[in-house]
Structure 1
């Protein structure tokens, strides 16, 4: 009665992915994407620090 059926089954190991050979155009595109993502991250960090856009928002004059 000592079978190994209870509990979680171990996941099967997947074969390692082969390294791809990139040419100059592919490498340039990858580098460009990384730079864009980095710039977006910085902009998000700045936006989160400032809070609301423009400060007070719309102002009402009170006149009709």
Structure 2
């Protein structure tokens, strides 16, 4: 095994993409995504305050 290299070879780096100009549709789509993300974060925070939704299932008594 002295003449071989083990493991994976590193892939070549992909060329950087050119920054294209954004038109109105792209700007509106990005703004809408930001608003949806903010709403989702707000809903997560509100749900975290209430606690768990499930009570843990069937409760068993200590008697046998």
The TM tier, using the shorter chain, reads: 0.5 to 0.7
* Cα distance in 1 between the residues matched to 2:3 and 2:18: 37
Please provide the CA RMSD for this pair: 2.3
- Number of equivalenced pairs: 53
Please report how far the alpha carbon of residue 39 of structure 1 lies from its aligned counterpart in structure 2 after TM superposition: 1.1
Which residue number corresponds to residue 56 of structure 2? Answer: none
Which residue number corresponds to residue 41 of structure 1? Answer: 41
Which residue number corresponds to residue 20 of structure 1? Answer: 20
Consecutive unaligned residues in structure 2, runs of 5 or more: 54-64
| 1:51 and 2:39 are equivalent in the alignment | no
